[in-house]
Every structure is written in C-alpha cells, then in structure tokens.
Structure 1
Amino acid sequence: MTHSLPVSDHTTDPADLPALLARLGYAPVATGGVRLRGCPNPDGSLRWLWPTTLRQPLFLELYNAASPKARLFSAFVRLVFFCRLQGVFFRRLPGQFAATGQQVWPRADFALFTGTPGPNRKAVCCYALAPGQLVFAKLPLGPVSAEKVQAETTTLLHLNQRGFTRFDLPRVLDYEPGHLLQSSVQVPGARRATRFGPAHASCLQELLATTGTRQPLAASNCWESITGQVAELQELSETRVPFGLRTKLRHLLATLDPNQEISVGFAHGDFTPWNCWLGPEKLAIYDLELALPEASLLYDLFHFEVQQALLTTRRSAVDIRTQALATAQRHFATVPAAELGVAWQLYLLHQVATGALLYHAQTAWHPQVSWLLNGWNALLTLELAPAMEHRQLAIFDLLDYVQLLGQPGVVLKPRAANAYYPAPSSDLDLLLEEADMEAGVHFLRHYPLAQSAVLRPAAHMQSVDCLFQDGSLLSVDLLHQLERMELRLLDAEAVLSQAERAVAGVPVPSLRDDFVYTWLFYWLNQSNLPLNHLRHFQQLAAGQQAALLAHLTAAYGLTFHSLAEASVYVPAKAEHLAFTLRQAQANGRLHRWARGLRYLLSTAVEFGRPGGLIITFSGVDGAGKSTVIEHVKERLEKKWRKRVVVIRHRPSVLPIISAWKYGKQGAEARSVQNLPRQGQNYSLGSSLARFAYYYVDYVFGQAVIWLRHTRRGHVVLYDRYYFDFINDGRRSNIDLPARLTQALYALVNKPRLNFFLYADPQEILRRKQELSASTITQLTQQYKTLFGQLGARYRDSRYVPIENQDLDTTLALIGQYIQQEI
C-alpha cells in the first residue's frame, strides 16, 4: 500500500481548503467528486473536515473527550449524527473534490484533523482500512514535522521489537517521507483517563526497567540538551518569549549540581491523557513523535500531570506541583524525595526550554501558548522561591504576564536600564486596558508567593500592595486611564498604541508620552519633578530635549528654557496648565463632572476603609527610642513603601501650655533647653488642670490623626505616648495618682503596636545621665507591669517590652510585629 505525499517547505494554511486537499491528493472538480463539511476552531480556522456522506462522527476519534465539557460536546455530536442533523450544525465547505490518483486514499468514510499551528504541524486522517480496523495517517505539513514523523516511525519500529507486555503501541503499517500509516490502539471498553493511575505507573515502570540507567548529570544527554537550549534562549535578541521566563530558566539551571548522579531512561515525551487509551487490561500509548531516548527520571509522569492541569483543568501552580510530586511518591515510593525533587526540576527545565524555543519559531500563537507560558512561569517561580527574592520573582512574572496579553500593557515612568530590575524601593506603574487591569489584579491577589495583597481601588486605577512570604514588598499601580481627579492627562488608548519596546522587550511609552505624563503627574500634584526623573531626561540628546520643551509650549502654552527649569513647580504656571487642560475636548464640563463624581465616590470608599497603622515607642531617656524610630521610619518608607509621620508624645492639636505665655517658637526653645522631670508643680489642682488640657488633646486629637493619616494609609510613629502620664507624670510636670490616669486611658485611642524599650541602667547612664540608676530601674519595672496589664485587657492591641541591647535584633523583632500587622 502506498500513500506517498510530497512534503512542502511551508506550513499549509487550513483556511486555504484547495491547497490543503491538494496535499492530500484531492483536486477541485466542477461536477461530481466529494463534498465536505467542517468544524472550526474557536478562532474560526478549520479544525476537522469530512465527507458529507459520513454517517458516523469519525472525527471524534481525533478528539480528546476527557473533561466534562469535552464529553458533553462529544455526546452532542453523536446525537446530531444519530438524528441526521449534520447539515444544521456543521456547514458545508465550498467546492467539490476528487482524488487525483497520485496515491491510494480513502474514497468513502474518513475524517481529517488539520493540525495544531506551529513548526510541528501535521494533518491526521482517520479511516477504516477494513471493517472494524481503524488506521491513522500522519501527514507532515512542513520540514520540521516531517522530521518528527520520521522519528516517530523509527521509535515505533524499535519499541515494537522489545516485546513490552504492560502496555500496547501502534504498529507501523506503512511509511514514506510524506506520511506515516499506523494502526489504532483503541480496544473495546477503552477510555480516556484524566488521572494518573496504576496502569500508567506500570507502563512507566516497564520502560524504566528496560531502558533506565544511572549516570552523572553532566554526562547525560538530557543535561547537554537542557544547557544548550537555555543558552540559546539567553542569546535571542528579538523574541516574543518573555525575558522573565528565560532568565528564571538560567537561574534554576545554576542551582543544580552537574556532578550528582541521576536516573535516565526512555520517555514518551508527550505522555498525556489525550495520547493514551486506558483499556480493561492495560494502557495503550500513541503519538510518540516527541519521544526522548534518554530523559530524566519520571519525565512522563510529570508531563502527564502538568499538561492536564495547565491545558484542561487550569489549576494553580501550587496544586500542580503538590499533585505531581505526591503522585510520583505514591507510585514510585522507593525513589528518595531529594531525587524526585531534582527530577522534577530537570523536567521543568527541559520542557519549558523546549517549548519556549518551539514558540519562538512559531509565528501565530494560539491561546494555549499563553496558558502554558504563564503556567510554566509560575512553576519555575515555586522552584526558585528558596533562592531568590520573592519581590524580584513577582516582577519577572508580572511583566511577563503583561507582555503576553492580547494588548500588552505599558510600564509607566520606566527609569531602570531594564524594567525587570527596578530599584529596590521602586513601585511598578502599568497602563493596561480596563479588562486587562482586572486580570492583573487577579494575578497579583492569587500570586503563589504572596502572603497578602491589599487592594486600594480608585476611579481610574487599582493599586495592589503585595507582601511576600519572604517579607519583601511590591506596590503595583494598574491604571486604565491617565487622570488626575477630574482631569484627563493623556489619552490612554493613544499611549498604548504608540508604545515602544525597550530593553528585554518591555513595552514603554513613547519618549514624548513618557515625559509629558511624568511632568503633568508631579506638577498637578503641586510638586517638583523628582531628581531621578529629571536626570533621566537630561541624558537625552539636545535635540530631543528641545523637542520636549517645544511640545510643552505648543500643547500647554508654557515656555521653559531648559528641562531643569520645567522641573520646578511654579504655582502661577500650574494654574495656567490646569486651565489649558480643561479646554481640551476630553475635559469638557460633562466629562469633568463625571470624573469628579467618580473620584469623590472612590475617595469616600477609601475614607471608610482606613489602612494606616499607629505604633508607639516608650522608654526612659537613653533607652534608644530615637535611634530605633529613625531606623523603623526608614524601613517603612523604603522597604514597605509607606508614608510615615513621627509625632512627639501627643497629637499636638493643642499647643504646649507654655505657648500661651511665650508663643509657639519661644515655648519650643524653652522645651529644648530644659531637662525633663525638672518641673516643680506638686499641686493637685494645677496637675489636674495640666492633665485635663493634655487629655483633651489626646481624646480629640486622635480623631484629627485618623482623618489626616490613618484613614489615608499612613503609618504614625509616636515617640512616647499616653503611658508617660501613667508611669512618668513628672516628665510633664504632673503629679497625679497612676490609678486615675490609667483608668482614663479607656477613652484614649489604643494603637495596634506599643513597644517599651529598656536597657541595663548602666548602659542608659552611659548614653544619657539624666536619671539615677534607681529611677531607671523603678520606671522600667512600672512600664513592664503596665504593659502586662494593658496587654491582658486590650486584646486587639499589642504591648511589647523589648530589651534594646542589640539594635539589629531589636529592629528585626519590631519588623516581625509590623509585618504581621501590614
């Protein structure tokens, strides 16, 4: 039997029906011949075709009906054919076709799968060679797929000589360079199995027992293949394969010891539910065109779990990894856990690198490509989590995810040489289409390494503050409009359409859009252009700088002689700028009212959802409060990206008492000059009056602090707090019973975190000689007792005494408490 077909040098477009059928030995005819029906892919391209005379849905033999949705579709198609309603649900394709006689080809019932786009594309035809004997003809549609079909033929001929007993393989019925004809392996009662079970394990055990060996990793073919592919991916100058994924492959490869000994053996290469039939007695496997003579241990088992989860059930990376390793341990219990971990990482390296190179060579990407790339990215992230900062991994994954969107987003205000490596304290600002913005929020909130992700919605954007499991942080602003309150700054759609590709393929705004948005952003916030932004634009050529200044004149009527001059906020010019922006069509009165209303509503929602934190630090002078507060403030601002406000002792809504006599500046000067605890007031009446004054400041001032700071997400650090009135009233020239001041604490705001810092009296005296050793000891004990009492009574707040002997230890402990709260 001969089914010779020439192999073309290009992939046939299935939409070109005559060209496809010419490859199969059919030509258009005016009359007679065969009429065809077809079923499309979701994108409208042709998936299956068959003669109109077909009475049974033979093309379902080419369909993976494993999922509930797929089984429902399969049942529906069978019902349609049973009721003879094919013409209602499946369109008839144009033209009539007759066999040219160049090869023997089924002239009655057959079904043809047009293939999956890509270099490996091939058509697959199913027909009955004899009653009850189905065969499949694989017809390569390009030079790469021709090599794969030839390799599969060689593999099948070799394996069939081995006489395997635990699984079945197709038999090669005929082969020539243009085709492979093989037998069906489906037996009565066989089904698709979506779960890896004993039959699958038995198949792999026999393959491993027959072909498996142990050798140093560096000496194996799989290591040679992996290192070569990863190196090739790093060298790609222009590619759609994202930079983050390629970089993570390199990092993961570097974690492996090439001198360790591993098990290798034959692997199917594409061992999936849709390439297996689970029969009543044993498993049958087919489609071995990606077979690997020497793959890492349990390559097929891992592939079965990963492909099923990414392409069918769409499960999370954490679930996939857990399930894959648990399945391996269950069916291959004698393999040590450490060796399984290495085998899992080798599988990921080989599969991801192979797939990435395949998709690099593929012009058109179907949706499953993005599913796989995003899924592989998440799996690689889990392997690198112990060795890399989680914030950096999240940046890799987020920017990769944005680049894989249908309309890639734009990184706003990009200042790093490579946006994948921003400064440690930098946030990410991304402009996306609105639907993609919501997808980005979902991505961050379900990121596998995120410990928490706090969402701060606004009218034109969503901000997500991510705290990762290693304690690192990333704040991401996802914008779908470029607005400031009621004013639109730039047209987001135009910025997206005019975006350019920067280093690592990152989409960034055009130079003019970048400068204008950055400049408007800061000027409309009544601020100078920050120095890092100014220096970035000052590095441009003189002609480019002049063009940017000319645009400010033309668009906004403002003239500057240099970028440095334009960077300085000038209130009078800012008023003119706001007036000019209001004249734009996009900022008409109705548009401004609508945006203003949305802004007010989003502000009201944010107003009712305070995200700030109040932290107090107490302790005698010399205990190290000022130093600790300075370091905590710096870490909150740089690491946690929080705005921090430091308040001394009380809210200070009311001025200090002496200000009524000496004025604010005079009172502050006297306060600095006078040592604490030097007041001579011992009068009960005077003490009550002074305390009442400060108490009012605390009770009413806490509302002011909430309005100004806490509700806006700021962190307030108190250098001393109300507790001084209880334990150390003399410091404020007050002499009242501690029971009274402690009882009145009931009406004072209870900060979430309260730290009492203490140290050895001699150490404190070395730092500051303001108190005696006995006084320091007494006050320390009183504060410890008080914090114990308050901690037992107010469960929603924490009262933590810390011995401040080592600054780093103190800061680490305080950081743990803050991390839990944030």
Structure 2
Amino acid sequence: MKSVSLTTPVRIAGQPVRVLFIANPDGRPRWVWPADARRPTFLSFYPAVTLRQRAFRLAVRLIFMLGLQRLVFSSVVIDRPEMAGESDWALFTGTTGPNRKEVLIRDRQTVVKIAVGPDSQDNLANEARTLKKLEGAKTPLPFVYPNLVHYADHRLSITRLADYGTWDTITPDHIEALRSLRAGFSEQGGLHTWPEWIATNERLTALEAGSDTRIPGRLLTDLLVLAAAFDPVRPVRYGLSHGDFTPWNTLRTDGRQLGIIDWELAREQTPVGYDYFHFHLQQGIMVERKSWSRIYADIHAGLTPLVKLAVFGSIRVNVDRYLRLYLLHHLTYYLSVYTRQEVWHPQIHWQLEVWRDALGDLTPSGHGRPQLIASLFAALAGVDYAVLKLGDGDPADLPPDSDLDILLSRTAAETLIARIQSFRGVDRVRIVRKSFMASLAIVLSNGQLLHLDLIWKLKRKATVFLEAATLIEGARVNAHGIRVVNERDTADYLRLFYGLNGQPIPEKYAVPGGELPVLPIQSNRGWQKWRNRFDYVQDTLLTAWRDRGFVVTFSGVDGAGKSTVIGEVTQLIDKRIRRPVKVLRHRPSVLPILSAYVHGKEGAEQRSVERLPRTGNNRNLLSSLLRFGYYFTDYLFGQAYVYVRYVLRGYAVVYDRYYYDFVLDARRSNIELPAIVPRLGLPLLMKPRYNFFLYADPDTILARKQELDRATIVDLTNRYRALFRDCQDRYPRHVFASVENVELAETLATVRETLQTSIK
C-alpha cells in the first residue's frame, strides 16, 4: 500500500482505503481525505482570509455539494491512518521544514497532531504545557481554545473548534484576548532575565558563524547592530504570547466567539506586543504582500490609546522599542529554522525583503518636539518673520503647554504649512484657517504636541489693532538666532491684546503700565472697515463648522476617582488641546433639579452635594416615571442647547456622570424603574464623542470611599463595562472606553492620547 506521508509518522491500521488529495507544487500530497467523504473536512486546514481563498473554499464546497469530487481531485489507495474515523477525517501532511508536523482531523470533535522531527516534538510538548496553563488561568479568558485530550509518544490529541471563517484584521475581540494574555501572565524585569534573550543572542552568534549564503549579509549586520543597541538591564514588560498569532490561527467559532488554535510556539515571559506585531507582519507579508512601510503604518494606525493600554499595559510605552525586540527574536528564530531547510519556498524570500527594510528603518533616532521646532525655524530661513512673546528664550525649551505665535505674510504661512506636513515624525496636523491667521495643532508620532499660530494680521474681532508688517520690520535676532518682536512692540501688543479683551496683563510678562497705543486708522476705516466686519462674520461661521468642539463624559461608581480625573482633564484640555472647557454635572441642566422647586436652586444643589448616593426613598412606579420623564426631557432638549451654545463655539464639554447612570444606576437619582425603560431612550440622544468609564477593584474603591458595599461595586462595574462594550459595537465612530483608574498618571495619559485624536 502507498503512504501519502512525506515521511511515515502516521501509524496505519492495515485497512486499505481509497482517498482523494490535493498536491503540493512538487506533486506530493498536501491534503488527504476519504473518497467517500460527504463534506470537505480538509478545508479546516485552509482558513480563508483573501477573496481568492474564499472563492477556493466556495468552489470546493460546490464540488462536494454536486458530488463531483472524484472527477476533480486525484485519487489513490492507502492504508487507513490508525486514529482516523470511518469517513469524516482529513490529513494535512505538513509544511516542509524542521517544524513540520502532520495533522489528522480524526472526526468532527478531535484533532491529532503527530510530530515528524525533534523540533516538532518540542513544539507539541510546548503546546500541551500551554493548554494546561490556559486551563489553570485564574480568571476566565475571553476566547476559546482547544482542550487537551491526550499527549503521549509525540502525539497531541485536542478538541476541534468550530470553524466559521476568520478575520483579515485585528478586531476588538483580538485585542481583548491579547490583553488577557498580558494581564494574566504579566511580569517585569531586565532583558538579561528573559530566557529567550540568551537564546536569541546564541542564535545570532550561530547565524554569524554559519556559511549560509542565502541569508543577505546586510541582514545579519543589522541584526547584530540592533542587538547591541539594547540595554540588557533596562526593565521590559512581559506576558504570555501565542507566538504565531495570525488570521489563520484565529477563528470564528460558535456564536462568532474568537477561537485561538496552534499554540505550539507559545512562550511565557515574552515582551508585550509580540502577538500584535506578529499579526500585522504575517498578514502583511503572506496575504497582502505589503511593503514594510505600509505594514509599519498599519501597526501604528491600529494603536489607539485604548489598544495600546490593552496590548502593552501602559499608554506611555515606546512601541518601537518593543517592535525591535519582536523583530530581533522573530528573525533570529526563523532564520535559524530556514538555514536547516534545503529548499526555500517563495514566502521565505518575501519575508527576507520586508525584514531587510524593517531593520533599516528601525534604527533609533529622535523625532520629538525639539527636533520639530528646529526643523520649523530651519524652514523659515530667508523668510521675513518675527516670533511674539519669546524674547531671548530658546523655543526648543518652551514648556509642553506653551505655543508659538509667529508673524509672517500669508503666502509664507501657506508655504510653511506645506513644509510642516512633510516633516519627519509628524503624525497629523489640524489646521484652522481664518482671514487673519492659521492655527496649527501638530501631533507627533510619539504623541507630543505643538500648537502654532501663523499670523498675518493682528485683529480682535473686526478690529486691526497693530500692523503685523511693522512688527516684522522692527524685529531683532535673539541670542539663539531667532527673529523676535522687539521689547517696545511686544509691550504695545500685550497692552492692546489684553486691554481689548478686558483682561489684565499676566505678571510673567512684566510689562509696565501705560496708555493703550493708538489703533491703526487706515486698516479700520472706509471699505476696509466693512471688509473686516465681513471677515469676522465669515470666520465665526466657518469656525463653528470646521472647528467644532466635542463632548466628553466620565462615569463610574462612587470612589472610582472621577472628580480627580475630571479636574486634571479640564486643565489638560485647556492647556494642551487648547480648547475652552465647560463642566456639567450629570445632565445639561436646562431644567433645574426637581428639589429646586421646593428648596430653591442653591439649596437644592447644596442638598444634592451633602446627600449620599442611592439613599432616596422613592419606590413608587408613577413617581419614578414622572421623575425620569422630567430628566429625560432635560437631556433631549438640553443636548441641543449645549451643542449650539458650546460645541459649535469650539468648547470641550465635560460631563461628570451622564445618562448611562439612568440606565444602570437609576437609584442614584431616586428612580425605581426597570433598566429597559431608560435603555430605550438611549438611541434617541446624541452620543458624546468620548465616553470614559473609570473603574478599580473593590478594595481600591473602598479605600477611597465607603459609600457602596463590595457586591454593589462589582455588580455596577460589570454592568457598566458590558454597556460600554455594547455601545462601542453599536456606535463605532464614538469612543466608549473602560479605563482602570489605579495609577492616576496612567489614566490621564490614556485620556490625553484619546482626546488628542480630536486633532485631525
């Protein structure tokens, strides 16, 4: 009888059976199944990611539906594999290389993996250990995985997961899975404590000493330079990684739940982000045939602040550092595998091409705010300009919340804007153009921010109060080579700017008192006067349309730390994002609190502050409906009022609690209603752009406030998180983020980077 195996690891039962097969390019069978099979079980070996792959699966299913498989596929008689079922089995003979294994789908419930060589034996033993570790996880995992049935004699039997296809992109379910693997198996330590760091350097030494000319010499040189650049003592965050986290190893299972298979390359104590990087790299190379620059862009495009927090455990992480660690480990591992492989398939050469570009691109370099400012003034060489309020200071030393005001001509401003957008390290630029200036908010790839005002007319509403050209002409060069407005003109500017706005001049400018300078007459009379008024109206209308503000909500159980976070965030929005802020408590408050009709507005507010939450004694259904209807009316009409009065004027509106409290914790407002009643009202309301639910473990909350019992804290937290997950699915253009608020700095960093996405 004829064996279809590339070697002969599959035990045979001595029972001849006719099979069909699909061959490899070299003619050897790849997928084998019984000729009398009624369903294409072997398609489980071929997850469809691309349109071409989906078309192939559809064609195969059609062939089976029409009963044409014996006419289409090659046939041979073999001895039945020992562990195979009667007809519903399929065999994958494995991919060429040291890691090769054979996989037998024994029946609809069981998969058996059979090791072919020493490497695959180690891999299967590792998968068995990993599956046991997952079964012993302290908290339930948000994905399904095969159950270990039996492992012995280098044969691994596991349960078969339902397969309803896969995804070609990372979804929120993937991210939640990566978060659980990181958080459930988290460690921290220097690189020298990482076992794989030693193995990586050993592989690199062996590759350097080897004589495989198929590996480009430049690739090895770059790997050596990359390895030498790491500080082995500097702390690194570790977690459990799958090791081959790809679309073909992540499946849609029953109920469309994420299922993860093939844990052979799983590793404990792996630098965080490993699986996230691997998904993008393998998908980009093997499926989409992308260049490194496009893969790198995809990696960073997907790293929203919340994704970064889930994958890395911190918002303040140097992503490229972990990307370099991943590449160093990944490349040395697979290069050591490929050197032991006689024939290289085309996919290896695809990888070499992308790896080369990746290593060339990821040499450490600085592209922060100081470098941006240096590039900015280099671009101004030969341009007539003057910086306001800088004096003898160095612009590179300005605090993070300081901006730059530069006087120059309108033509020069537009040229500079085009240059800035092409600067290296610039992620995105929000530009708000007005008749007299352009305001730029420049966000760098590392999350740093620079606000820049390019001004060609000095105006307050419809009045020109100084001639910009005169200030540019009288500028001087300071000690750092920067052209700045001279002291006399700066004093005139400050007196006029703050005087016309009815504000005192800040003490930091140390401007002596004096009369306001005379306004330029020529620029504020005749047709120019009417032109200024027209421009002012136009600027106001266009700003309301193009530079609208946004609404932010903070929810959480009492003791979650909302008040502290809101206080910091309002300062952050004002100083860093440069928007005026309006804070509202719980609702728009177009209608007064109900008790105001009895105790007056101030008395009602005082009673509300003094009263503990959830202590009202209302249990009447009719009273609750009336109370809820009153507050819902406030939301329904008040949100339009808030939008027109604040959002259209560029404000950031911050809610301390929002309508979600009525959905999940109506008792807090002395309302006793089924949750479905306020939930039905949610689709009728405008959805705030950013919504944060702050939570912490019960012990942390009880240490801050003892207003709720442990069970209530756990229940409310679980229900809030479930509501926010549901809202994120229903309203994907908005942010519904659950943020663990234990370390204030980490929470604020998450909120800051999320809010900076408003800069577009």
Normalising by structure 2, what TM-score?
0.50
In structure 2, distance between residues paired with 1:589 and 1:432: 25
Give 1:452 deviation, angstroms: 0.7
In structure 2, distance between residues paired with 1:413 and 1:422: 12
Is 1:436 the equivalent of 2:412?
Answer: yes
In structure 2, distance between residues paired with 1:416 and 1:640: 26
2:507 corresponds in structure 1 to 531
**Aligned counterparts, 1:275-674, within 5 A:** 386=364, 388=366, 390-405=368-383, 408-415=384-391, 417-533=393-509, 535=510, 537=511, 549=514, 552=515, 555-556=517-518, 581=519, 584-674=521-611
Give 1:740 deviation, angstroms: 1.4
In structure 1, distance between residues paired with 2:751 and 2:539: 33
In structure 2, distance between residues paired with 1:396 and 1:456: 23
Give 1:446 deviation, angstroms: 2.6
SS of residue in 1 equivalent to 2:578: coil
Bigger radius of gyration:
1
Of 677, 695, 712, which residue of structure 2 is paired with 1:758?
A: 695
**Aligned counterparts, 1:686-705, within 5 A:** 686-705=623-642
Give the direction of change, closer, same or farther, for the CA distance of 1:532–1:773 in structure 2 (3 Å limit): same
Q: Which amino acid aligns with 2:500?
A: L
Give 1:750 deviation, angstroms: 0.8
Deviations 1:657-712 (A, max 9, x none): 11222222111111122111111122222222221221122122222222233233
In structure 2, distance between residues paired with 1:657 and 1:783: 26
Give the direction of change, closer, same or farther, for the CA distance of 1:384–1:421 in structure 2 (3 Å limit): farther
In structure 2, distance between residues paired with 1:416 and 1:684: 69
In structure 2, distance between residues paired with 1:808 and 1:505: 37
Deviations 1:745-764 (A, max 9, x none): 11112112222122222322
In structure 2, distance between residues paired with 1:529 and 1:399: 28
SS of residue in 1 equivalent to 2:582: strand
1:310 corresponds in structure 2 to none
Of 611, 622, 634, which residue of structure 2 is paired with 1:685?
A: 622
Is 1:716 the equivalent of 2:653?
Answer: yes
Give 1:384 deviation, angstroms: 13
In structure 1, distance between residues paired with 2:392 and 2:591: 46
In structure 1, distance between residues paired with 2:743 and 2:482: 44
Deviations 1:48-90 (A, max 9, x none): xxxxxxxxxxxxxxxxxxxxxxxxxxxxxxxxxxxxxxxxxxx
Deviations 1:642-669 (A, max 9, x none): 3333221111222211122222211111
In structure 2, distance between residues paired with 1:715 and 1:611: 9
Give the direction of change, closer, same or farther, for the CA distance of 1:763–1:586 in structure 2 (3 Å limit): closer
In structure 1, distance between residues paired with 2:378 and 2:361: 17
Give 1:613 deviation, angstroms: 2.5
Aligned partners of 1:389 and 1:472 also within 8 Å: no
In structure 2, distance between residues paired with 1:442 and 1:683: 64
Moved over 6 A (4+): 382-385
Q: Which amino acid aligns with 1:402?
A: L
Q: Which amino acid aligns with 1:622?
A: G
**Aligned counterparts, 1:15-414, within 5 A:** 386=364, 388=366, 390-405=368-383, 408-414=384-390
Deviations 1:167-209 (A, max 9, x none): xxxxxxxxxxxxxxxxxxxxxxxxxxxxxxxxxxxxxxxxxxx
Aligned partners of 1:444 and 1:464 also within 8 Å: no
Is 1:788 the equivalent of 2:725?
Answer: yes
In structure 2, distance between residues paired with 1:425 and 1:635: 9
SS of residue in 2 equivalent to 1:656: coil
Q: Which amino acid aligns with 1:395?
A: I
Q: Which amino acid aligns with 2:539?
A: S
Give 1:529 deviation, angstroms: 1.1
Give 1:624 deviation, angstroms: 1.4
In structure 1, distance between residues paired with 2:506 and 2:367: 28
In structure 2, distance between residues paired with 1:490 and 1:733: 58
Give the direction of change, closer, same or farther, for the CA distance of 1:750–1:699 in structure 2 (3 Å limit): same
In structure 1, distance between residues paired with 2:482 and 2:420: 19
In structure 2, distance between residues paired with 1:638 and 1:586: 32
In structure 2, distance between residues paired with 1:758 and 1:419: 40
Give the direction of change, closer, same or farther, for the CA distance of 1:384–1:759 in structure 2 (3 Å limit): closer
Aligned partners of 1:791 and 1:798 also within 8 Å: yes
Give 1:388 deviation, angstroms: 4.1
In structure 2, distance between residues paired with 1:819 and 1:511: 35
Aligned partners of 1:399 and 1:420 also within 8 Å: no
SS of residue in 1 equivalent to 2:560: coil
Gaps of 5+ in 1: 1-254, 256-317, 320-337, 339-381, 538-544, 557-580
Which has the higher relative contact order, 1 or 2, with Cα contacts under 8 A spaced 6 or more apart?
Answer: 2
In structure 1, distance between residues paired with 2:396 and 2:729: 47
In structure 2, distance between residues paired with 1:812 and 1:461: 31
In structure 2, distance between residues paired with 1:611 and 1:690: 33
Give 1:386 deviation, angstroms: 4.8
Give 1:638 deviation, angstroms: 3.4
Give 1:637 deviation, angstroms: 3.2
Give 1:622 deviation, angstroms: 0.6
In structure 2, distance between residues paired with 1:416 and 1:611: 36
Is 1:818 the equivalent of 2:755?
Answer: yes
Give 1:383 deviation, angstroms: 11
Aligned partners of 1:416 and 1:422 also within 8 Å: no
Give 1:528 deviation, angstroms: 1.5
Deviations 1:489-548 (A, max 9, x none): 112222222222222222122322111112211121222212222x2x3xxxxxxx5xx8
Q: Which amino acid aligns with 2:373?
A: I
SS of residue in 1 equivalent to 2:446: coil
Of 735, 744, 751, which residue of structure 2 is paired with 1:798?
A: 735
Deviations 1:210-246 (A, max 9, x none): xxxxxxxxxxxxxxxxxxxxxxxxxxxxxxxxxxxxx
Aligned partners of 1:626 and 1:719 also within 8 Å: yes
Gaps of 5+ in 2: 1-228, 230-292, 295-323, 325-359
Give the direction of change, closer, same or farther, for the CA distance of 1:794–1:437 in structure 2 (3 Å limit): same
1:738 corresponds in structure 2 to 675
Q: Which amino acid aligns with 1:741?
A: P
Q: Which amino acid aligns with 1:786?
A: L
2:141 corresponds in structure 1 to none
Aligned partners of 2:392 and 2:478 also within 8 Å: no
SS of residue in 1 equivalent to 2:751: helix
Is 1:769 the equivalent of 2:706?
Answer: yes
In structure 2, distance between residues paired with 1:714 and 1:629: 15
Give the direction of change, closer, same or farther, for the CA distance of 1:511–1:798 in structure 2 (3 Å limit): closer
SS of residue in 2 equivalent to 1:795: coil
In structure 2, distance between residues paired with 1:446 and 1:765: 51
In structure 2, distance between residues paired with 1:394 and 1:384: 19
Q: What fraction of aligned residue pairs are identical, expressed as a percent?
A: 40
Q: Which amino acid aligns with 1:626?
A: S
Give 1:726 deviation, angstroms: 0.5
Give 1:419 deviation, angstroms: 3.6
In structure 1, distance between residues paired with 2:589 and 2:653: 13
